Amino acid sequence: MTEGLLEGKVAIVTGASSGIGRATALRIAEEGGKVVVADVLADKGKETVEMVVENGGTGFFVETDVSDSEDVREMVRKTVDEYNRLDCAFNNAGIFGDMKPVAKYDEEDFSRILDVNIKGVFLCMKYEIQQMLEQDGGSIVNTSSVWGLVGGEDSSAYIASKHGVIGVTKAAALENADTNIRVNAVCPGVVETAMVEAIPDEISEALIAKEPIGRAGKPEEIAEAVVWLLSDRASFVTGETHVVDGGFTIS
């Protein structure tokens, strides 16, 4: 029997209550990894764990607000208490926010999005890397977006945060290049998630129409890329911005 890509490895997945996070948690378990499901949505997060277990995997849930340093520290501590180590992390938690031009954007809303989307990634990496430095290394993937590579209207906070994810990913990758800790980012295009479903239909339809592949992506398609980046198959890949967008950014 072929060994899974993440056989015996311990992985944290934030934002794992649905969408890309849930799909990735399930794939990690399918590839032999133990999964720590982290999210602010307890019921949905526990549902993800139930799905992991029903499919023969192993995991548990930790209620975590990634913008809160104590929550993130506790997330890592509980992982190590349960499994004695942390090998992989998919820092995926994120929010979209209001669609307004810069001149009308609320300052508190702007700060809230940056707190979750970029400060949250920073905090997760801070405590994940501290643990990985005590071991023999590890692998981290952060969720950016195609909007971390291009501009757009009426989404300045989200776009700024996703550009920031790419920046902090590259910085952490360089800082840890000689420590056997790899850090990469994945940039999904338009994907069938609750976040995209919340966008007005005319906007989401226009975005999908710009996809050369002719459709929105599926969470499972992003999960495949994340699992590969987390695995030893990607052992020479760090600081990479891995685009999975159906050709969106080249059209």
Percent of the chain with pLDDT over 70: 96
Please give the mean pLDDT across all residues of the chain: 94
40-95 residue pLDDT tens = 999 999 999 999 999 999 999 999 999 999 999 999 999 999 999 999 999 999 99
pTM above 0.85, yes or no: yes
pLDDT value of position 207:
74
Mean pLDDT, residues 227-235 taken together: 98
166-216 residue pLDDT tens = 999 999 999 999 999 999 999 999 888 776 666 667 766 777 777 788 888
What span, in angstroms and rounded, lies between the C-alpha atoms of 163 and 21? 20
Contact 154, 101 (CB under 8 A): yes
Is 158 considered catalytic here? yes
pLDDT value of position 1:
52
pLDDT value of position 3:
83
96-140 residue pLDDT tens = 988 899 999 999 999 999 999 999 999 999 999 999 999 999 999
**Closest to 191 in 3D by CA, of 240, 146, 127, 238:** 146
pLDDT value of position 198:
61
pLDDT value of position 141:
98
pLDDT value of position 205:
76
Written as one letter, the residue type at 63 is E
pLDDT value of position 251:
79
In total, the chain counts a number of residues equal to 251
Identified catalytic residue from 83, 105, 127, 158: 158
17-26 residue pLDDT tens = 999 999 999 9
From residue 93, how far is each of 53, 158, 178, 232 by CA, in Å? 22, 13, 27, 24
| Element spanning 139, H or E | strand 138-143
Unique residue bearing structure tokens 């509980």: 78
What span, in angstroms and rounded, lies between the C-alpha atoms of 157 and 185? 19
Domains and CATH numbers, the chain: 10-250 (3.40.50.720)
What span, in angstroms and rounded, lies between the C-alpha atoms of 192 and 30? 21
pLDDT value of position 197:
65
